[in-house]
């Protein structure tokens, strides 16, 4: 007799209705935020809380995503350990976790493919918000889009989030900043914009005409004069779905290269940046 099939997991549905968060989980979020605020560590909230700020979409989240530079993360982790939290570096390129019980906070310094890295400017551009009763800051929409541009895996795709951010922040979205953030990976932005155009055809103008024409002209130029020495980039999008290209078809592993470069950067002593200075330092007072 055949075993009964397991029911398909219920997928989340977008909504503006606030999600219930267990008190223990909310308490962890508040504790960490209050500590970072009290000690003036430079950071910005991202993830579901930033998405809600810019779009009104509420989404249940098991974690709290805090973006910060790698320099800040190295200072925050030992301090939180002294405060009684369990801390572990899951991936030195981009992720550390702060635990208390079954709930956790993610400290994120970039993306796992190492081509998107959190810089001081990300934190400086963050906007004010209240998260779990704590006055804090969330990523600006441009940085939020940049953080999602490579989340295009089989098991998770953030294209809808990007479309919602563009839709929800019109006409304030800073497109020059976005182009600066994506840099040489502009094709990933164009791909996301084509999805936005397909989903919201009546709102095509939410993306300025100069952005459309600039990106499309650049694409036409690349197609007309392809570079035969250009490296395979599939692993930067999804190292599992494109594993066969590397393991069996002999194409270059660009992900391995970018992560190696990032690890070498992280191992070098970092200069003190403006955002890392204590809040009562002369330079901070001078700029206020």
Question: What DSSP string runs through 27-57?
Answer: HHHHHHHHHHHHTT---EE-HHHHHHHHH--
| The CATH number of domain 14-139 is 3.40.50.720 | no
Judge residue 269's burial from the number of C-beta atoms within 10 Å of its C-beta, 0-12 exposed, 13-18 middle, 19 or more buried: exposed
Looking at the chain, the whole-number percentage of residues with pLDDT higher than 70 is 90
29-68 pLDDT, tens digit per residue, is 999 999 999 999 999 999 999 999 999 999 878 889 999 9
What pLDDT, on a 0 to 100 scale, did the predictor assign at position 274?
46
pTM beyond 0.85: the answer is: yes
**Boundaries of every domain in the chain:** 14-139, 149-226, 229-267
104-158 pLDDT, tens digit per residue, is 999 999 999 999 999 999 999 999 999 999 999 999 999 999 999 999 999 999 9
Region 225-233: mean pLDDT is 96
Token pair of 79 as six digits: 């301090």
């Amino acid at each position: 007799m055949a075993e009964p099939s397991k029911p398909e997991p219920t997928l989340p549905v977008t909504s503006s209705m606030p999600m219930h968060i267990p008190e223990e989980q909310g308490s962890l979020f508040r504790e960490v935020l209050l500590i970072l605020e009290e000690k003036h560590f430079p950071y910005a909230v991202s993830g579901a809380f930033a998405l809600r700020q810019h779009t009104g979409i509420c989404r249940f989240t098991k974690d709290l995503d805090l973006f910060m530079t790698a320099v800040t993360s190295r200072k925050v982790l030992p301090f939180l350990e002294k405060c009684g939290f369990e801390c572990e570096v899951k991936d030195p390129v981009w992720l550390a976790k702060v635990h208390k019980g079954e709930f956790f906070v993610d400290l994120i310094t970039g993306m796992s493919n190492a081509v998107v890295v959190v810089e001081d400017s990300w934190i400086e551009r963050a906007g004010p918000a209240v998260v779990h009763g704590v006055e804090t800051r969330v990523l600006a929409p441009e940085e939020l889009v940049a953080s999602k541009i490579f989340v295009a895996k089989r098991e998770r795709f953030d294209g809808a989030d990007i479309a919602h951010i563009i839709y929800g922040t019109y006409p304030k979205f800073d497109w020059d900043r976005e182009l600066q953030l994506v840099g040489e990976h502009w094709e990933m932005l164009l791909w996301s914009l084509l999805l936005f155009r397909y989903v919201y055809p009546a709102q095509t103008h939410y993306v300025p005409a100069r952005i459309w024409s600039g990106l499309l002209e650049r694409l036409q130029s690349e197609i007309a004069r392809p570079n035969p020495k250009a490296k395979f980039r599939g692993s930067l999008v999804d190292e599992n779905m494109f594993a066969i290209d590397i393991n069996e078809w002999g194409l270059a592993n660009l992900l391995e290269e970018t992560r190696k470069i990032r690890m070498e950067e992280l191992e070098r002593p970092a200069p003190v940046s403006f955002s890392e200075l204590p809040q009562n330092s002369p330079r901070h007072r001078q700029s206020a």
